[in-house]
Chains A and B, each alone.
Chain A
Amino acid sequence: MSHVIELTDVHKTFGRKVLALRGVSMHVDQGQIFCLLGPNGAGKSTLVKILMTVIHASRLSGTMLGHPIGHKPTLRRVGYLPEHHRFPPYMTAEQALHYYGGLSHIRRPERVRRIAEKLDLVGMTAWRSHKVGTFSKGMQQRLGLAQALLADPELLLLDEPTDGVDPVGRREIRDLLHHLRREGRTILINSHILAELESICDQLAVVVKGRVAMEGTLEELTCGGLRWVVQWRGADVDSLAFEVEREGDLRTVSLPNASDEDVQAVIDAVRGAGGIVTSVQEFRESLEDLFMRALKDADDLDGAVPGAVQGKVSKAT
């Protein structure tokens, strides 16, 4: 599978002290939905802005769609929805899309066709002639998606795409992202809403303190967190090598990274001791668990502050 984005050792320092990115290396595969996670100030938006030439990296090596990062013509093939974007309030939805389409070098006849198509796709056709200044946050977000899709991009970078959108709208955006993936487009999403990402995410990276703390597919990253939970009533089983929680008559044992045989042995032991097994469940680590684990690991390494790091800049950066 080819890499749509490939980054090696990306550094960004704001001023002399704020180390926003400290050697980020990662790759995004074609046709995947890639989720960029991290706490506030971890450097996620900075990374996306570097890809879109909004911010200049202090040090960078990498490519996007086969060209070096910062290659302006490549941006014709990329759609971008910034966080907290603001459209000119005096423009109508249609005029705003003509403006951004023009900046993306889309010729007028083509723009006219695509604007109608994208407004329809995000459910904003009825509002095409209304001033953007009168739009709600959710409507602005939909319009933002329309402008990001206007160039029919191969790669979409979405920074908090569901920010301010109601539950129905979120669902529609999720469906739209699935649809775009089926069309073969690659999508990089930067979001805080982990529960939403869990259902659409193919690949992910957790950025903490300007570094990639974890990277891989959701399956790869969560299989380390696989565990079985066995519950029973009645007898205590002294022979178990695991810690047993007691709550009245109910006993619970958690078996991290246990094989089917290990689970079967526990069940046999419980039944042998006269206990009644009430449930046997397999738990996979949630995205939230994974996220918290990544934070904890990073904290153990670097200290307790999850955001950007303040410190002296070395000559290398």
Chain B
Amino acid sequence: MTSILAILRESWLSLRAEWLFKGVMGLNVLVIVAYASIGFDANGISLFYGLTHIESEFIYAGSPMSRTLYLGIYSAFIVNMWLAWAASILALISTSSIFPSFLSAGAVELVVSRPTRRSTIFFVKYAGGLLFVVLQVSVFTLGAFLAAGWRVDAWDPAIFLAIPIITLFYSYLFCVNVLVGVITRSTLIALLATLLFWFSSFSVRTADDIMSQFSYRLDATVERTEARVAELDEETSEAEAAGDELDAEDAAHWAVGPQAAMDRARKAQSQLAPWAAIISGVRTVLPETARTLGLLHRALERNTDTTLMDLMSGAAFDDEDEPPRKLSEEEEAQARHMEKEEEIPAWSIILKSLVFEAVILIVALIIFRRRDF
């Protein structure tokens, strides 16, 4: 325990000495101040602590939509854009040097020659690297919690889920950073390799999402044309039964187009299937960065009737008495995709990603343990 505390304290001292750590902490405070500047009054939304005002008949102080909007801004924009992208890149720049510096000649001998086991040193050093994110997100989340409580009276402890979720997300990238750092002992190569990995996994995920949405769209096309063809077939049968040959011919004529569209959609489905399987297979072995971040969104929207997506699509403002609007094929495909994503259990997202992280860390540990310094 003494050695673990010593390594963690060393990690803290090294972070404290980094100007980037202080810089990112300052930026965190600025983002929270900006977030807290959004407020609601009886007539709508106030911005910049009341300097600007947007009138709204739906979103105002005390309305359920104001809460959805405020927490949605936090989970979908601030967490996704700032914490998951900008702050994570800055964190990577800052922490990429941890292992290469520690493994540099003259420094590593002083540490690995101690009675502490190399595996303990490795894992505590790894945890020390994550400390950067834990501390940054903790301060950030506390600010967001206070802002949400003040602005929309949402004293929701789920806001603090950002701490483990962002840390998990960051750890998927940091483990790759550590592996490359252990192999090459170069900060620059470790950083570039991590960014490349991040970009690759982002590309695979985006490709998989596009494939999946395209597939749902084809499903919707097939279903809709099937229904239309069946409808026209019925009309033809009815016209034939009634002896109205003209109507029967007309209905049969109109069925040709949907039938062809259905055939094209089925053909496209069969052509798409092997590619979709390959991309999906590649995604399976990669950590679920976006889905992990999405867990926070899920948690914050668990008790609301209206989602941020409803607000953004305008569905939240539809008249409840009117029948629901018929969705376009694209909208339906998107809705199905979202629905499927929501159905994926949180444990499966986290477990799959942790398996990836564990494999990478085990490889890095084996190299570190066997290495001569």
Given A103-B6, A103-B111, 11 other A-B residues pairs in contact with their CB atoms under 8 A = A49-B109, A52-B113, A54-B108, A55-B373, A56-B372, A74-B115, A98-B6, A99-B9, A104-B116, A105-B116, A147-B110
Contact of B3 with A by CB under 8 A: yes
The contact size tier of chain A is 20 to 34
The 5 closest A-B pairs by CB, nearest first: A102-B6, A90-B17, A86-B106, A52-B113, A82-B109
Q: Measured between C-beta atoms, what is the minimum distance from A91 to chain B in Å?
A: 6
Option from B10, B108, B370, B373 in Cβ contact (under 8 Å) with A99: B10
Q: Write the chain A residue with the least CB distance to B108.
A: A54
Do residues A72 and B5 form an inter-chain contact, with CB atoms below 8 A?
no
What 0/1 readout, one digit per residue, does chain B (100-111) give for beta carbons within 8 Å of chain A? 000011111111
- Write the nearest CB–CB distance from A105 to chain B, whole angstroms: 5
Q: Are A73 and B115 in contact (CB under 8 A)?
A: yes
Bound-state CA distance A185–B108 (Å) is 26
Query: Interface on B for A, CB 8 Å cutoff?
Result: 2-3, 5-7, 9-10, 13-14, 16-17, 104-117, 121, 370, 372-373
A106 to B109, CA, bound (A): 18
Contact A95 B13 (CB under 8 A): yes
> Mind listing 12 A-B residue pairs with CB under 8 Å?
A49-B372, A54-B108, A54-B373, A56-B370, A80-B113, A84-B105, A85-B110, A88-B14, A90-B16, A103-B111, A103-B116, A107-B2
- Interface residues of chain A, those whose CB is within 8 Å of chain B, are 14, 49, 52-56, 72-76, 80, 82, 84-88, 90-91, 95, 98-108, 147
> Residues of A contacting B104 with CB < 8 Å?
86
B interface SS class: helix
In the complex, the chain A residue whose C-beta lies closest to that of B16 is A90
B residues in contact with A86, CB < 8 Å? 104-107, 110
Contact present for B115 and A75 (CB under 8 Å): yes
- Expressed in whole angstroms, the minimum distance between the Cβ of B281 and any Cβ of chain A is 37
B107–A102 touching, CB < 8 Å: no
Q: Are A103 and B7 in contact (CB under 8 A)?
A: yes
- Which of B17, B106, B114, B372 is A104 in contact with, Cβ under 8 Å? B114
Q: Are B115 and A102 touching (Cβ within 8 A)? A: no
Are B13 and A82 in touch, CB under 8 angstroms?
no
List of A residues within 8 angstroms of B13 by Cβ: 88, 90-91, 95
| Cα distance A82–B107 in the bound complex, in angstroms | 9
Residues of chain B contacted by A108 (CB below 8 angstroms): 2
What separation, in Å, do the CA atoms of A54 and B17 have in the docked complex?
Answer: 28
Pick from B114, B121, B373: contact of A100, CB under 8 Å: B114
Contact B2 A82 (CB under 8 A): no
